[in-house]
């Protein structure tokens, strides 16, 4: 957590911009409701759980990724053995992409969705409730503030968020 108010700052405008950027990043995360969950009709229930957990929606779209787009989004996993399976799955049907806001958004959302493998996810988490397997695991959640911003930029222009 950045404690900007303890710093002395000779360039107030620069410091304010810096503080605003970090405040924005640490309060927002990015999610996708994945094709398994949208095709099984779980979209409404998952959004309901997200809202009841205190997140607010700052951007949202219903979209089907091409294979190329899914590969770019998960580029970090390109060398992993499950990469092609992941790309095929993520481009197999529509997803809901969204930017969510809440204090401590990234960590709290990862807690809400549960472990990558639903068999190991805590009771009541989104993946425990709605996911069938480690590959088809219902939702994505950003793993850091930096990636939350990169992933939000991948899907949304500035005009599409508030």
The set of catalytic residues is 140
Give the containing element (helix H, strand E) for 57. strand 56-63
Contacts of 4 (CB under 8 A, 6+ apart): 15, 18, 19, 22
Nearest partner of 32 among 9, 6, 50, 19, judged by Cα: 50
State the minimum distance, in angstroms, from the CB of residue 102 to ligand ATP.
Answer: 17
Alpha-carbon span 101 to 51, nearest angstrom: 10
Query: Which residue from 26, 64, 92, 116 is in contact with ligand ATP, where contact means CB under 6 A?
Result: 116
- Confirm or reject binding of residue 35 to ligand ATP (CB under 6 A): no
Which CB, 61 or 80, lies closer to ligand ATP? 80
- Confirm or reject binding of residue 141 to ligand ATP (CB under 6 A): yes
116 contact, one of Mg ion, ligand ATP, none, CB 5-8 Å limit per kind: ligand ATP
Cβ pair 8, 109 in contact under 8 A? no
Give the residues lining the site for ligand ATP (CB under 6 A).
77, 82, 85-86, 116, 134-135, 137, 140-141, 143
């Amino acid at each position: 957590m950045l404690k900007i108010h303890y710093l002395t700052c000779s360039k107030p405008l620069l410091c304010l911009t810096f503080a605003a950027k970090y405040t924005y990043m640490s309060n927002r995360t990015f999610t996708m409701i994945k094709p398994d969950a949208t095709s099984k009709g779980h979209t409404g229930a998952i959004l309901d759980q997200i809202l009841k957990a205190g997140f607010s929606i700052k951007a949202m779209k219903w979209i089907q990724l091409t294979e190329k787009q899914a590969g770019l989004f998960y580029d970090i996993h390109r060398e992993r053995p499950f990469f092609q399976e992941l790309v095929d799955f993520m481009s197999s049907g529509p997803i809901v992409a969204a930017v969510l806001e809440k204090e401590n958004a990234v960590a709290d959302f990862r807690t809400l969705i549960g472990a990558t493998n639903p068999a190991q996810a805590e009771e009541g988490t989104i993946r425990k409730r709605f996911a069938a397997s480690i590959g088809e695991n219902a939702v994505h959640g950003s793993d850091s503030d930096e990636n939350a911003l990169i992933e939000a930029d991948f899907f949304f222009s500035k005009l599409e968020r508030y």
